[in-house]
Structure 1
């Protein structure tokens, strides 16, 4: 049975993906100021996307809630990892990035593709993606407006690896790729 170990991304978070209704003009996912609606985000609660479990931590006081890829590394809790799951999206179409799991002299490197973050219409139930109800789009009105023709979407990507005693996670630089959450697929070590 696959077990999930949500990883705390707060030490490396550096960007804002979601805005509340009253602050839509603060959107910063792309150059047009678009954002996910924060009202849709399951901050601080388990989120199942297909058969994968994630947790997105509460944003900080400035609204920083995710990782924009800029060559970050993060210490992992000691565990035997058998894979990784990422909840991510890319601006301007699909984008490549690399994750590397290091531990005890071993490395597992995965080349991944984050799909684009805008879709037309609702997700199919069997697809591994989190789809918001609308797009926050700043307009002439200080409150901005909603756009329902394109829906912001985060995709769940999972890859299995040969078991590794994971200690460190490295994420390559690819600034148009955004990660909302990471869960390690794992076996719990006995204490």
Structure 2
């Protein structure tokens, strides 16, 4: 696991309460539990349930902060829990994700892609406007970032349906999407692109302390 991704033990720098989390009010981790529809992380005894890609690869749960809060590059995320047969990520298929209405600057994602992907997220605002922002995610297979993402996690092994392969790495990236528009954001519609998998998402209001 990438060492610069640190687990949160109830506190983070500039801690303050928001939505039940002791994190600074500028950050709003999103609840994706109702949208998860894919198994991309498995335990060694359950590799057959992996379905990240067409070859049914999956990432090793023991090398990831499953079910815990984690800070990546200073941004807090709620990493999904992992259990046999339980979806742990959102495979993008046009899901409409409602968010707490507010004025935000960035949507941060912990994401991985079955290949190098360039697409768009539709941002919905209270005024009825819809703006489209670029979503770019590098390949999860061991390779450098091509879109400037931050490497959140790099595993030392890869799970196949019937075995664990050592020395084959998988990566989860921390990517950010600009919230284009000056109104209050109410929802984001994910692209129809099943090569993109989202494990966690957090909204960021950089000047939240100055806004009413």
Band the TM-score falls in, shorter-chain normalisation? 0.7 to 0.9
The secondary structure found in structure 2 opposite 1:164 is coil
Measure the CA separation in 2 of the matches of 1:77 and 1:172.
Answer: 20
Count of matched residue positions in the alignment of Structure 1 and Structure 2: 180
Measure the CA separation in 2 of the matches of 1:164 and 1:45.
Answer: 32
Q: How does 1:179-190 map to 2 (within 5 A)?
A: 179-186=198-205, 187=208, 190=212
Equivalent residues of 1:80, 1:163 under 8 A apart? yes
Post-superposition CA distance 1:91-127 (Å, at most 9, x none): 1x20122112212123332122111001169xxxx94
Where do 5+ consecutive residues of structure 1 fail to align?
none
After TM superposition, the score normalised by the length of structure 1 is 0.83
The secondary structure found in structure 1 opposite 2:55 is coil
Structure 1 counterpart of 2:61, from 9, 26, 38: 38
Q: How does 1:91-130 map to 2 (within 5 A)?
A: 91=114, 93-105=115-127, 106-119=129-142, 127-130=150-153
Where do 5+ consecutive residues of structure 2 fail to align?
1-13, 15-23
Q: How far is the alpha carbon of 1:138 from its aligned partner?
A: 2.9
Q: Which has the higher contact order (CA 8 A, sep 6+)?
A: 1
Measure the CA separation in 2 of the matches of 1:112 and 1:75.
Answer: 18
Structure having the larger proportion of residues in strand: 1
| Structure 1 residues 147 and 137: alpha-carbon distance in aligned structure 2, compared to 1, 3 A threshold | farther
Give the corresponding residue for 2:17: none
RMSD (CA atoms): 2.4
Measure the CA separation in 2 of the matches of 1:159 and 1:51.
Answer: 16
Range moving further from structure 2, 82-91 or 39-48: 39-48
| Structure 1 residues 111 and 30: alpha-carbon distance in aligned structure 2, compared to 1, 3 A threshold | same
| Structure 1 residues 138 and 147: alpha-carbon distance in aligned structure 2, compared to 1, 3 A threshold | farther
Give the corresponding residue for 2:19: none
Structure 2 counterpart of 1:56, from 79, 83, 102: 79
After TM superposition, the score normalised by the length of structure 2 is 0.75
Range moving further from structure 2, 36-45 or 171-180: 36-45
